[in-house]
Amino acid sequence: MPRSVLVVDDDPLVRETVEELLTESGYAVELTEGADAALALAAERDFGLVLSDIRMPGKDGMELLPELRELCPGMPVILMTGYASIDSAVSAMREGAFDYITKPFRNEELLVSLERAFAYRTLERENSSLRRAVSKVSSYGDLIGKSPAMQEIYSLIERVASSTSNVLITGESGTGKEVVARTIHFAGIRAERPFVPINCTAMPEGLLESELFGHV
């Protein structure tokens, strides 16, 4: 399915030029000349992003931006203007614009901005799906629980399990340190090898050295 872009600009020449460029680049393009019409379209359809002019009759692009972000959270909005200034650029980014482009723009500049915006949205959606999946996890290995604290532990285990580094697990007696260690082991790259727990506090110092490093 083509990636869709809603173009908002009161200048018909700009709309036609952008439509031709984006269509040739494989995007599905919808055109509108005002902010209110853009909001109505965004409420009906799931656009990949919005490309909007700032200066327009009635509601301008800076007023449109927060309404779009509220209506379609996570959808990138790129603002463009022929009256660029540092203040307007800063204001646009503070309000949550993904990018700010000065007209007349080079075709490559616009296409690169769109590619970055779509890559960002794809990543955001993947992260959101991952967070939803993790939030549903109620167990991990021998660990059971789905509280925020347990979800954080599962996430940490996932991160360190594939590492070859040493892992120090701390906690009071009875909090499940060995269970966490076992879970890390069997979730990691050494899962096919034995997991050997040793109670260091129960061994004399000399015997502990022999147990860990062999008798010398």
Query: pLDDT tens digits for 29-52?
Result: 999 999 999 999 999 999 999 999
Q: How far is CA 187 from CA 152, 157, 174, in A?
A: 16, 8, 22
Q: Are residues 161 and 120 in the same domain?
A: no
Where a domain ends, among 82, 99, 132? 132
- CA dist 57 and 96 (Å) reads 22
Residue 150 belongs to a domain with what CATH number?
A: 3.40.50.300
Q: Are residues 128 and 143 in the same domain?
A: no
Taking the model in full, what pTM does it have?
0.60
Indicate whether 2 pLDDT > 70. Answer: no
- CA dist 127 and 216 (Å) reads 52
Domain count, the chain: 2
Query: Which of the two residues, 89 and 38, has the higher pLDDT score?
Result: 38
Q: Are residues 11 and 78 in the same domain?
A: yes
Q: How far is CA 141 from the centre of its chain?
A: 27
pLDDT of residue 1: 44
Which residue bears the tokens 């062999």?
214
Domain encompassing residue 51 = 4-132
Q: Are residues 120 and 24 in the same domain?
A: yes
Q: How far is CA 36 from the centre of its chain?
A: 29
Q: Are residues 148 and 203 in the same domain?
A: yes
Indicate whether 9 pLDDT > 80. Answer: yes
Query: Which of the two residues, 189 and 15, has the higher pLDDT score?
Result: 15
